Amino acid sequence: MSIITRLSRTGKHEKIEFVLKLVDRILAGDDIFDDRVLLMDTIEEMYRILRQLALNSKDENLLTAFEKMAILRYSLQTENVFDRKTLSDIKPFLLNTLKERSSTI
Amino acid sequence: MLIKEALASVDAIQSPYIRAVTYARIGATLALAKNPLYEQAFKKAFDAAEEIDNPIEILKALLAIAFYLGKAKMKSSKKMFRQLADDIMILPKKTRDKLFRDLISYMLQLGEIDEAFYYSEYISNKKLKNEILVNILKEYLSTLVGEKIRIIYRIRKIELILEHISEEPYRSYAIAEIIKSYLKIGEYDRAILMIKELKSRYWLKQTVKEVLFYLKHKDLDKKYADRLLTVAIEISDNLAIDINEDLAVIFAINGDIAHSVEALSHVSDKEQKLIEIMKVLMERRPGTVIPYLQTLDPKDSEIASKAVLNYLIDNPSPEYSSIARYISEKIESEEVIVKAVQYYLKIGQVVEAARMTSRLKSRKLRSLALGDIAHYLLKNNKIGDALDLVMHVEDPKLSSVLISEILVKVIEDELKKEHRV
């Protein structure tokens, strides 16, 4: 495997791990995320990262995670409803993606 | 009476491991209730552990017993843990790691954070070790909130634990957690300095954002913005991660325009970033767009204005006509005016669009703008008006094209009418 693809893979890895940790932090119920703008911004950030990763991917887990994040983002932006359940549902899909990735590297 | 019976019934459990743990649990509960039967329960727990034939399982059971002794506030608990740790140390790596993980988890539950940290050194699997250290750190951080005394000592301890967390993403995550806790206890300078420890662009961006939002709630964001910016510039220089552009966006979203512009001045492809920022602001904070434009110098303001108008043309909404009006009145550039004309046509304000064109001095651009209006009128079947307008188009090429189109349109309309008859 060329060094370039391996590097880009680790880039992906880093991004997914980052999103996972962010999900954890939001789910931990910390009051820092009581700020609606910060919450929205953080969701937006995760949405963008996943979108970028999902666009060129055939990874079912990643696509599902992105889909759920998109739904979450939509309901937050349009109805101002934050659905914790959807956010926690995203976790296993991201974990699976990481697992499959590390097994192929 | 019932207690005695229940205690006797534990013997019905076949697995000696579960039996041992059950006796120990009961022992802890009884001890806390000051029931003297606890001694008997713990003794039975040890007896059950002796019956286990798998040596690893024996250690596991003994760890559980030590934990429940700790729960029961028995001094022997610590001694037992130490003894067990010595035994575990001689085991092969994999087993050793697993047992130390259990031991540390018990330690943390008992609030023995220092001991937990001490034993974490013995874990050989790097990932596992980092994961456990993060847990230890979080436990430590949770004791920090609300605690005012010996804060310096505690902070040193936290930084010591962090030194041992070497793997990503654990390290970045740990730093982000530390920063959050520092903010909560009012150690704002320390929190900002801690940002420097981050090496990942994503985490940098996220933490800076969190710090800024937190300070904003405390009405301190203006006071610390300079320091935050200094740190960010330093990081960008040292790590070749340019977070100034992100910072410019973050400040802008936060409504701190002066610092956003300041951050922007450190960005290499400033023009591109400015365009991005305007787009983000239009999407998320349209209210800050005009003040932002006012802060920029004339050249940048023109670039930004074009970006805003491009956004408005792509997303026509009458809601933002005040922004378009501001831009078309303030910016001298004729190109900007042409864009404004396009926007007004998109939202159907022909009069405003026509008024704009009168300010265009360049013949070519005026013709272009008038052409756009004529097109709009044609599309809306105002052929007479369109024709009047075309008379004002000075560019012969364009006027010819327009007249040609008008005539075709007239004929098409006539044919449609005949068809209906």
Is A17 within 8 Å of B209 when comparing Cβ atoms? no
Q: For the complex shown, is ipTM > 0.90? A: no
Which chain A residues are within 8 Å of B210, Cβ to Cβ? 32, 38
Q: What is the DSSP string of B361-392?
A: --HHHHHHHHHHHHHHHHHTT-HHHHHHHHTT
Q: Which residue of B has its CA nearest to A45?
A: B206
Surface of B (113-172) touching A: CB under 8 A: 168-169, 172
CA dist B279 and B99 (Å) reads 54
Contact B198, A14 (CB under 8 A): no
Give pLDDT tens digits for A38-76.
Answer: 888 889 889 989 998 888 788 888 999 999 999 999 888
Query: Considering only alpha carbons, which residue of chain B is nearest residue A30?
Result: B180
Residue B102, pLDDT above cutoff 70: yes
Token couple for A2: 């060329």
CB atoms within 10 A of CB B127: 10
| Residues B253, A38: C-beta atoms closer than 8 Å | no
Within chain A, how many helices (H) and strands (E) appear?
A: 4, 0
Q: Do B200 and A18 touch (CB under 8 A)?
A: yes
Verify whether the Cβ–Cβ distance B180 to A38 is below 8 Å: no
| Separation of alpha carbons B301 and B178, rounded Å | 39
Q: Which of B70, B178, B74, B152 is nearest to B116 (CA)?
A: B70
Domain boundaries, chain A: 3-104
Residue B341 has pLDDT above 90, yes or no: no
Q: Measured between alpha carbons, how far is residue A40 from residues A49, B87, B335, B379 in Å?
A: 14, 51, 36, 41
Residue of A nearest to B170 (CA): A21
Position A105 confidence tier, pLDDT thresholds 50, 70, 90:
very low
pLDDT digits (tens, 9 = 90+) for B360-404: 777 777 777 777 787 787 777 777 777 777 776 666 776 677 677
Rg (CA), chain A: 14
- Put simply, the chain A residues between 49 and 78 with a CB less than 8 A from any chain B CB are 49
Q: How many Å lie between the alpha carbon of B214 and the closest alpha carbon of chain A? A: 7
pLDDT at residue B104 in the model: 94
Could you give phi then psi for residue B361, rounded to 5 degrees?
-95, -35
Residues on chain B touching A18 (C-beta within 8 angstroms): 169, 172, 200, 202-203, 206
Nearest to B101 by CA among B88, B112, B114: B88
Which pLDDT band holds residue B48 (cuts at 50, 70, 90)? Answer: confident
- Asked if B168 lies within 8 A of A42 by C-beta distance, the reply is no
The answer on pLDDT for B321 being more than 60 is yes
Q: Is the peptide bond before B36 cis (omega within 30 degrees of 0)?
A: no
Beta carbons of A21 and B169 less than 8 Å apart: yes
CA distance B166 to chain A (A): 15
Round to whole Å and give the CA distance between B180 and B383.
65
User: Could you tell me if B58 lies within 8 Å of chain A, comparing CB atoms?
Assistant: no
* Confidence (pTM): 0.70
B65 min Cα distance to partner chain A (Å): 30
pLDDT > 50? residue A1: no
pLDDT, residue B240, reads 65
The answer to whether the CB atoms of B200 and A32 lie below 8 A apart is no
How long is chain B? 421
| Average confidence score pLDDT of chain B | 83
CA distance B102 to B282: 52
Confidence at B99, pLDDT banded by 50, 70, 90? very high
Task: List C-alpha distances in Å: B38 to B3, B4, B29, B62, B281.
Answer: 11, 11, 8, 17, 66
DSSP state of B72: T
- Separation of alpha carbons B387 and B378, rounded Å: 9
Give the one of B168, B183, B206 whose C-beta lies nearest to A22's C-beta.
Answer: B206
Question: Residue B387 and residue A58: Cα distance in Å, rounded?
Answer: 55
Q: Which residues of chain B are within 8 Å of residue A49 when distances are taken between CB atoms?
A: 202
Confidence (pLDDT) at A11: 76
